[in-house]
């Protein structure tokens, strides 16, 4: 139970005295990608990036590979993947899926990496019909309520996730200090040396800490933060790609394009074309 706090505020002729019994931290979703794809072949493996993934298979043929054993991705099920989760999926035949990449701000604790299978509740299934419809239908992106449907959908998916998602989250104050620096100054010319000093560690030790807890090196983690911001700007603004690159911490549009192609298999220009349908 949070401690009661006496609050007094005065604005013009209004004077209020009361007690705040509870307060909810600021939080929200930022959807980076929301797409339906039809793939002839699909292979993905390695450490996950610092954003959430959500897969919704529309057809059979894809598999999760773990400890050399393959498990099929079932149609009608949702697969929630927190940041920094080790991934290994494959499909060697034609396969269709909806997928979302998104970030969540304001979480009180970090999620435990893993791949969590979720059976849709009745309400989630209703929302899926709108935000991730069948292959022969398209979501009504232009409808004013669509964004609220997506927000409700993601909120319900997280609320229906297994308790294990939150019960054993890894926390290290040295890593938290370093990540806090990155999140506030990711457009600056950060070096491993600067990050190490913030964490109170040697460069080698901070690199090992990052790899241990996130699966990524410090610089690779920094690149992902910059890419996430570039995606936001590309989707939410009409800024020229050169300006997007600069505001996201990249030297120029050509470097942004090269990095985006390498790590997201996309380019700034192609992403904007995709958004226009």
Provide the β-strand partners of residue 34. Answer: 100
- Inside any domain, residue 13: no
Q: What angle do CA 104, 107, 108 make, to 5 degrees?
A: 175
- Inside any domain, residue 112: yes
Same domain, 161 and 182: no
Of residues 269 and 1, more confidently modeled: 269
- Inside any domain, residue 7: no
Same domain, 33 and 123: yes
pLDDT for 259 equals 93
pLDDT for 242 equals 96
CATH number of the structural domain spanning residue 60: 2.60.120.280
CATH number of the structural domain spanning residue 219: 1.10.10.60
- Please say whether the dihedral angle defined by the alpha carbons of residues 74, 75, 80 and 85, taken in this order, is positive or negative: positive
Same domain, 91 and 202: no
Same domain, 242 and 137: no
Same domain, 184 and 263: yes
Could you tell me if 59 and 95 are in contact, meaning their C-beta atoms sit under 8 angstroms apart?
yes
152, 167, 182 — which closes off a domain? 167
What is the CB neighbour count within 10 angstroms for residue 223? 21
Give the total residue count for the chain.
277
% of the chain at pLDDT higher than 70: 82
pLDDT for 9 equals 47
Least confident piece of the model among 191-195, 210-214, 254-258? 210-214
- Inside any domain, residue 21: no
Report the candidate in 111, 80, 85, 101 with the shortest Cα–Cα distance to residue 33.
Answer: 101
The structure's pTM equals 0.64
Query: Which structural domain, as residue segments, surrounds residue 126?
Result: 28-167
Same domain, 147 and 34: yes
Same domain, 42 and 151: yes
Distance of CA 75 to the CA centre of its chain: 22
Residue 213 has pLDDT above 80, yes or no: no
Same domain, 60 and 100: yes
Of residues 7 and 262, more confidently modeled: 262
* Residue range 124-150: mean pLDDT, rounded: 80
Please state, rounded to an integer, the average pLDDT across all residues of the chain: 83
pLDDT for 52 equals 92
Report the candidate in 146, 142, 144, 143 with the shortest Cα–Cα distance to residue 127.
Answer: 146
pLDDT digits (tens, 9 = 90+) for 16-75: 566 655 555 557 788 888 888 888 888 888 777 778 999 999 999 999 998 778 899 999
Which residues have CB under 8 Å from 266's CB, separation 6+? Answer: 260
DSSP three-state, residue 235: helix
Same domain, 140 and 195: no
pLDDT for 253 equals 95
Interatomic CA distance for residues 225 and 248, integer angstroms: 9
pLDDT for 2 equals 43
- Inside any domain, residue 15: no
Residue 169 has pLDDT above 60, yes or no: no
- Inside any domain, residue 96: yes
Could you tell me if 153 and 128 are in contact, meaning their C-beta atoms sit under 8 angstroms apart?
yes
150, 167, 184 — which closes off a domain? 167
What confidence tier does 171 reach under pLDDT thresholds 50, 70, 90?
Answer: low
Interatomic CA distance for residues 140 and 154, integer angstroms: 17
Residue 114 has pLDDT above 80, yes or no: yes
Residue 108 has pLDDT above 80, yes or no: no
Which residues have CB under 8 Å from 179's CB, separation 6+? Answer: 221
pLDDT for 269 equals 92
Residue 106 has pLDDT above 80, yes or no: no
- Inside any domain, residue 9: no
Residue 211 has pLDDT above 50, yes or no: yes
pLDDT for 133 equals 87
- Inside any domain, residue 12: no
Number of domains making up the chain: 2
% of the chain at pLDDT higher than 90: 42
DSSP 8-class letter at 141: T
What confidence tier does 104 reach under pLDDT thresholds 50, 70, 90?
Answer: confident
Residue 167 has pLDDT above 70, yes or no: no
Same domain, 270 and 185: yes
pLDDT for 5 equals 44
167, 192, 208 — which closes off a domain? 167
């Amino acid at each position: 139970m949070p401690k009661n706090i006496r609050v007094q505020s005065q604005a013009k002729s209004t004077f209020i005295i009361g007690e705040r019994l509870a307060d909810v931290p600021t939080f929200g979703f930022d959807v980076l990608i929301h797409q339906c794809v039809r793939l002839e072949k699909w292979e993905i493996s390695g450490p996950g990036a610092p954003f959430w993934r959500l897969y919704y298979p529309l057809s059979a043929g894809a598999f999760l590979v773990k400890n050399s054993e393959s498990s099929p991705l079932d149609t009608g099920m949702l697969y929630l993947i927190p940041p920094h989760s080790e991934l290994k999926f494959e499909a060697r035949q034609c396969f269709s899926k909806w997928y979302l990449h998104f970030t969540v701000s304001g979480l009180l604790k970090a999620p435990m990496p893993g791949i969590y299978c979720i059976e849709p509740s009745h309400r989630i299934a209703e929302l899926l019909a709108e935000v991730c419809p069948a292959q022969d239908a398209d979501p009504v992106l232009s409808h004013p309520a669509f964004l609220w449907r997506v927000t409700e959908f993601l909120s319900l998916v997280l609320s229906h996730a297994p308790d294990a998602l939150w019960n054993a989250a890894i926390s290290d104050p040295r890593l938290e200090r370093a990540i806090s620096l990155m999140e506030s100054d990711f457009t600056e010319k950060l070096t491993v040396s600067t990050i190490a000093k913030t964490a109170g560690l040697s460069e080698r030790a901070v690199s090992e800490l990052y790899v241990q807890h996130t699966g990524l090196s410090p610089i690779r983690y920094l690149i992902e933060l910059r890419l996430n911001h570039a995606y936001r700007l590309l989707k939410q603004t009409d800024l020229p790609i050169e300006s997007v690159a600069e505001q996201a911490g990249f030297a120029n549009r050509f470097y942004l394009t090269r990095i985006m192609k390498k790590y997201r298999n996309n380019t700034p220009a192609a992403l904007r074309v995709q958004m226009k349908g």
